[in-house]
């Protein structure tokens, strides 16, 4: 009986403690992977506690974004919303790769943030723009980023942030669950399955389907990831094959065999084309690009 009283007391004090930091806990979603990596949803963390920890460590985080050709039109919306909501109050360095540095609009940066505009060549095929990102990121990590930031995240430019994306995203290797595929069963996920491709995932394997629109981690981990993915892209090219979803297919292959240490729920990249199910309590970042044709193909 005494033990019972003890346990009850413990539970009660813990419950109060939890409640004071996380007012609405989640029971409706998966919050831990089978390899014990947290899956970040609204209602699973206290940003105050995380902020204080991160602040103590004096960390700097980098964001890599590409805006090539017509995609310069998205810079303004991305940069102004990211300055407001991405790791607000913490030091962030934005690395903006573009083929047209002169055309960059004036961007009002938050005082703690910095912006580097880096010229990059354009490719005629969009698939090549998308896939060359892995190569460019890894080369710049080697020559520059590793000396300037601790963590590095790659984000599509055709997005806008609507809510805070804070230090809950910080970890060694971080992937975001795709808003298109969060419910799909393994067999119906968009993985590359042709065994001739380096991105091939054997039938019946795969954990989650991750979006290439938002991933990151420590500089060292992102270096390994981007190098491996680019190697896969090159090998495929030699063999005359292109993975189903380009860099995204290679990212999914990599993250299957190098398990992410933290996953972001689709709150962190919600596709504008989709209606919002109940489990998505906040849309923190959404795509703003409406290209019906490609999206229809993608959802098949
Ligand atoms: C892309 C498609 C068709 C025509 C042009 C482009 C394009 C992309 C471009 O002209 N200029 C450019 O800078 N980009 C960059 O590539 C930009 O940063 C953009 O956000 C990123 C990915 O292209 P996006 O946003 O059109 O593709 P999504 O939103 O369907 O993204 C998924 O699929 C891609 C590959 O199929 C990538 O894997 C991407 O990371 C995925 O999320
Ligand atoms: Mn996009």
pLDDT tens-digit profile, the chain (300 residues):
777 777 778 777 778 888 888 877 899 999 999 999 999 999 999 999 999 999 899 999 999 999 999 999 999 999 999 999 999 999 999 999 999 999 899 999 999 999 999 999 888 787 788 789 999 999 999 999 999 999 999 999 999 999 999 999 999 999 999 999 888 887 888 999 999 999 999 999 999 999 999 999 999 999 999 999 999 999 999 999 999 999 999 999 999 999 999 999 999 999 988 999 999 999 999 999 766 445 444 443
Listing DSSP states for the chain in one string gives -HHHHHHHHHHHHHHHHHHHH-SS--SSS--B-TT--BEE-TTS--HHHHHHHHHHHT--EEEEEEE-GGGGGGHHHHHHHHHHHBSTTS-EEEEEEES-GGGPPP----TT-EEEEEE----SSHHHHHHHHHHHHHHHIIIIIHHH-SEEEEE-SSEEE-S-B-GGG-SSEEEEE-TTTSS--GGGS-----TTSTT---TT--S-PEEEEEEEEEHHHHHHHHHHHHHHHHHHHHTT---TTTHHHHHHHHHHHS--SEEE-GGGSB-TTSPPPTT-----EEE----HHHHHHHH-
SS3 assignment, position 116: strand
Ligand number nearest CA of 74 is 1
Cβ of 136 closer than 6 Å to ligand 1, yes or no, is: no
In ligand 1, the atom with minimum distance to the C-alpha of 67 is 13
CATH architecture of residue range(s) 26-299: Alpha-Beta Complex (3.90)
ipTM score assigned to the predicted complex:
0.96
Ligand 2 centroid to 158 CA: how many Å? 5
Return the best residue to mutate from 71, 118, 133 for the ligand 1 pocket (most ligand atoms within 8 A of CB). Answer: 71
Q: What's the confidence (pLDDT) of residue 125?
A: 82
Ligand number nearest CA of 157 is 1
Q: What's the confidence (pLDDT) of residue 291?
A: 63
Q: How far is CA 181 from CA 104, 207, 214, in A?
A: 34, 11, 15
- Whole-structure pTM value: 0.93
Ligand 1 centroid to 231 CA: how many Å? 20
Ligand 2 centroid to 5 CA: how many Å? 55
Return the best residue to mutate from 64, 98, 130 for the ligand 1 pocket (most ligand atoms within 8 A of CB). Answer: 130
Q: How far is CA 257 from CA 116, 200, 201, 240, 298, in A?
A: 33, 12, 10, 24, 24
Active site residues: 248
Ligand 1 centroid to 92 CA: how many Å? 23
Q: What's the confidence (pLDDT) of residue 295?
A: 46
Q: What's the confidence (pLDDT) of residue 290?
A: 67
**How many distinct helices (H) and strands (E) make up the chain?**
8, 10
Cβ of 68 closer than 6 Å to ligand 1, yes or no, is: yes
Cβ of 178 closer than 6 Å to ligand 1, yes or no, is: no
Q: What's the confidence (pLDDT) of residue 40?
A: 98
Cβ of 229 closer than 6 Å to ligand 1, yes or no, is: no
User: Do 176 and 211 contact (CB within 8 A), yes or no?
Assistant: yes
Q: What's the confidence (pLDDT) of residue 292?
A: 46
């Amino acid at each position: 009986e005494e033990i019972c009283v003890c346990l009850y007391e413990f539970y009660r004090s813990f419950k109060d403690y939890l409640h004071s930091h996380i007012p609405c806990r989640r029971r409706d979603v998966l919050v831990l992977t089978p390899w014990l990596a947290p899956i970040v949803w609204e209602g699973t963390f206290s940003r105050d506690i995380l902020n204080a920890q991160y602040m103590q460590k004096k960390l700097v985080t980098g964001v890599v974004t590409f805006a090539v050709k017509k995609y310069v039109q998205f810079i303004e919306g991305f940069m102004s919303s990211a300055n407001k909501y991405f790791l607000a109050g913490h030091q962030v360095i934005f690395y903006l790769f573009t083929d047209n540095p002169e055309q960059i609009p004036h961007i009002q940066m938050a005082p703690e943030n910095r912006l580097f505009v880096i010229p990059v060549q354009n490719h005629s095929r969009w698939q090549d723009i998308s896939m060359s990102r892995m190569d460019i990121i890894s080369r710049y990590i080697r020559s520059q980023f590793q000396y300037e930031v601790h963590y590095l995240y790659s984000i599509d430019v055709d997005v806008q942030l609507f809510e805070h994306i804070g230090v809950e995203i910080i970890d060694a290797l971080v992937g975001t669950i795709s808003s298109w595929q969060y419910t799909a069963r393994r067999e119906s996920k968009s993985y590359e399955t042709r065994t001739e491709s380096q991105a091939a995932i054997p039938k019946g394997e795969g954990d989650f389907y991750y979006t290439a629109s938002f991933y990151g981690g420590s500089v060292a981990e992102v270096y390994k990831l981007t190098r491996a993915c680019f190697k896969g892209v090159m090998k495929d090219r030699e063999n005359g094959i292109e993975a189903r979803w380009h860099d995204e297919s290679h990212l999914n292959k990599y993250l299957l065999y190098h398990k992410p240490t933290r996953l972001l729920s689709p709150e962190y990249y919600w596709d504008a084309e989709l209606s919002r199910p109940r489990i998505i309590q906040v849309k923190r970042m959404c795509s703003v690009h409406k290209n019906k044709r490609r999206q229809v193909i993608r959802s098949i």
